Chains A and B, each alone.
Chain A
């Protein structure tokens, strides 16, 4: 197989770090060579988080190039837009994103306007879009924070990686008391089209 390129993007505190960790652990278990790169220096201060994950037989560079991402998994709408240039432009790119808007400071102060046509722009460029109200779905499961794992489930499905034992990956890498909740969230995500 050729190397697969995944981007996870969001703002600090949305759980991108855990989602990307679980993803890479599962990929390694399945025998792939994996590289991952993260820019998160400002994530605790409401800044953007961008994680690159690449996997395949042999991977050199840890960073995804523009127009080469197979999937962009977005935890926040504006951050998907910001990184949309990474999506492959042959009509086969997939965007899985959480329909949530976190206002940057410029929008708060009235200097900037949060884009209103985000989803439209995304749909015009992606071959497939799975947009979900992740927080509400997660809240129904009992905790809005597991939105990240619902998205992870959807990603796994789109990558055709359902064979990896993700429930075990979760059991081994998540705090014990949150394991069942996260497993439910993953199953919910796996069911999304």
Chain B
């Protein structure tokens, strides 16, 4: 049976068919839907981990214990998991293990555009690069065979387009793979220098066998048409090249790209007149082709950044380019994402963004949007957890300067705090900086689409579980000044900021209110009584058109520039009341039930 599914769904299906029993991940676009879909198969134990390193380490454990297992993450997630990843290649597997990296050429929703194929080369792990949904599934199943045969974890490199595009996939059945017995094997699993030196030699020996595989596997194949032009490509670039050249060119389509197939490349290069390497991001294949002494055109003509779409290829090769329609472009205005109506971050950033003499370090999550209008609040974003540690370092330096010393306020979400913010807060307490940390606890991992986390009280399968007590955790770390507030109450927010800024030591403010898009738990309904129940409206005759309400950045508040009056879109309003609190003339009132 065939179905139209995304690459992420195909990976999940492949994991099920391959007999996988354990899966762990931390949400991150464009990889999130992999674990969400795996979790729908009852045969696979699925877990959201606090971060990618933890996810991969638990996968290593599951593999050693004898179960086929999978860890999926976005490209920058593999940076977090890089430490176990490299040594996992040395100790190898018991049952097969696969790591999915979802890269982002074009940076749709990521802080950088790194090419994680470099990780496979650096860690010496075999690697696949699927180009469509069918290949995602097929390559994953093959990856488990390879992983077990060569005693090494396998990396599958996807990209946003592969993850989020749908293609037809032939569905198969699950093959049950029994749990392999675990036997104590200190020389293999204890990564001491003495044990790992011979393991590295073993990896290098296996690499020769993997080269054989690379030259002879069905994933690397030459398609000869007209040989005037030859194209070596991987991933979705194969589809784009086919779109542009069709049968006017020959292709060496590479699906297994570490180690690369030297003989296939040499043979293909010898049979075509002009050789192009078409790949997204870094010249990964190209560098190898050039090292083989083969002349080619690659990143000398193609861009190093962005997606390698058919348009880009046409422009580079044929000089075809469609100029932007100036008249239309002049009319178009941007539509940046905004904090939702009822977002509990709104009240905090409305107040915090107006403070003078502070530097606001930010983090990765919905609240990153507060760097834009109308809040203009956060000033730095680097990576998960960095708001606190970066803010700590900045505060240490500001404290040494003469004259007015800026206070640093770090803002971090609950899930990001659990991810890597806890370590950073240890740094603040231990090294005694006076950083003000605000933990925006909206009770869910929101940015990636409301995934459960260690604070939400549910597992990925909505089983009730432990929920972290953030306030107790923060105190245990050694922060003595801790407050939990309702961020929708602007007076509370103001008062808490005054309190923290008035002290010469570290403090933590926890803003606790659930995400408006979240499926509320029974304990949320109990704790946040009346949340998202009422609606507000504008009394037109009272409204003076000052637009203070629109400066809260709420998408439900619409200002009519002709009539100079605000209105509230009743379909969007969820009754947080922030706009009503900023109105100087009480024109915004609650709709009486």
Seen from chain A, the residues whose Cβ lies within 8 Å of a Cβ on chain B are 11, 24-25, 28, 33-42, 44-48, 60-63, 65-67, 78-79, 81-82, 84-85, 103-115, 117-118, 121, 125
Contact = CB atoms under 8 A, between A and B. Distances in A.
Closest 8 CB pairs of A and B: A42-B337, A45-B337, A62-B165, A115-B331, A47-B337, A112-B333, A104-B335, A37-B165
A151 B328 CA distance: 23
A101 to B, nearest CB: 10
Given A24-B4, A45-B337, A105-B373, 6 more contacts: A28-B4, A45-B338, A45-B366, A108-B555, A121-B328, A125-B328
B337 A108 contact: no
B4 A106 contact: no
B547 A36 contact: no
Report, as a range, how many residues of chain B touch the other chain: 35 or more
B517 interface: yes
A81 B328 contact: yes
A103 to B, nearest CB: 6
Contacts of B108: 39, 41
Interface centre among A62, A107, A111, A125 (most CB of B within 10 A): A62
Interface stretch (B396-404, B502-510, B557-565): B557-565
Contacts, number: 146
Interface stretch (B49-57, B183-191, B200-208, B237-245): B237-245
B333 A78 contact: yes
A184 to B, nearest CB: 22
A143 to B, nearest CB: 12
A34 B4 contact: yes
Given A28-B4, A36-B165, A115-B331, A106 B336 contact: yes
A48 B497 CA distance: 35
B421 to A, nearest CB: 22
A84 B322 CA distance: 12
A35 B166 contact: yes
Interface centre among A45, A112, A114 (most CB of B within 10 A): A45
Contacts of A37: 161, 164-166
B233 to A, nearest CB: 12
Contact of A33 (B168, B325, B333): B168
Interface of B: 2, 4, 29-30, 108-109, 132, 161, 164-168, 236, 239-240, 242-243, 309-311, 314, 322, 324-325, 327-328, 331-340, 366, 369, 372-374, 449, 517, 547, 550-551, 553, 555, 557-559, 561
B161 A63 contact: yes
Contact of A115 (B240, B332, B372): B332
Given A60-B243, A109-B374, A35 B335 contact: no
A79 B336 CA distance: 12
Contacts of A121: 327-328, 331
24 contacts: A24-B166, A35-B166, A41-B109, A42-B109, A44-B340, A45-B339, A46-B335, A46-B337, A61-B236, A61-B309, A62-B167, A63-B161, A78-B335, A81-B331, A84-B325, A85-B322, A105-B335, A105-B336, A106-B334, A106-B336, A109-B553, A112-B333, A114-B333, A117-B331
B109 A63 contact: no
Contacts of A62: 132, 161, 165-167, 236, 239
Contact of B311 (A36, A66, A78, A84): A66
Contacts of B325: 84-85, 125
Nearest to B307: A63
A42 B132 CA distance: 23
Contacts of B4: 24-25, 28, 34, 36
A137 B505 CA distance: 61
Contacts of B164: 37-40
B333 A34 contact: no
Given A34-B4, A46-B340, A46-B555, A104 B334 contact: yes
Contacts of B109: 41-42
Chain A contact residues: helix, strand, loop or mixed: mixed
A153 to B, nearest CB: 21
B154 to A, nearest CB: 25
A109 B165 CA distance: 35
A110 B109 CA distance: 27
A85 B328 contact: yes
Contacts of B547: 109-110
Contact of B310 (A61, A107, A118): A61
A105 to B, nearest CB: 5
A108 B335 contact: no
Given A35-B167, A62-B167, A81-B328, A44 B517 contact: yes
A117 B558 CA distance: 21
Contacts of B550: 108-110
Contacts of B340: 44-46
Given A25-B4, A41-B29, A46-B555, A61 B374 contact: no
B335 A81 contact: no
Contact of A61 (B239, B449, B551, B559): B239
Contacts of A40: 164
A103 B558 CA distance: 8
A66 B332 contact: no
B444 to A, nearest CB: 12
Contacts of B168: 28, 33-34
B333 A104 contact: yes
Given A35-B166, A104-B336, A110 B558 contact: no
Contacts of B449: 44
A25 B168 CA distance: 11
Nearest to A62: B165
B331 A11 contact: no
Contacts of A113: 333
Nearest to B554: A108
Contacts of B161: 37, 62-63
B167 A109 contact: no
B503 to A, nearest CB: 34
Contact of A105 (B29, B309, B328, B555): B555
Contacts of B559: 108, 110
Nearest to A116: B331
A48 B335 contact: yes
A66 B322 contact: yes
Contacts of A84: 325, 328
A105 B338 contact: yes
Contacts of B558: 103, 108
Nearest to A81: B332
Contacts of A39: 108, 164
Nearest to B551: A109
A115 B327 CA distance: 11
Nearest to A117: B331
Nearest to B240: A61
A186 B168 CA distance: 26
Nearest to B30: A41
A100 to B, nearest CB: 12
A39 B108 CA distance: 8
Contacts of B366: 45
B333 A65 contact: no
Nearest to B237: A61
Contacts of B338: 45-46, 105
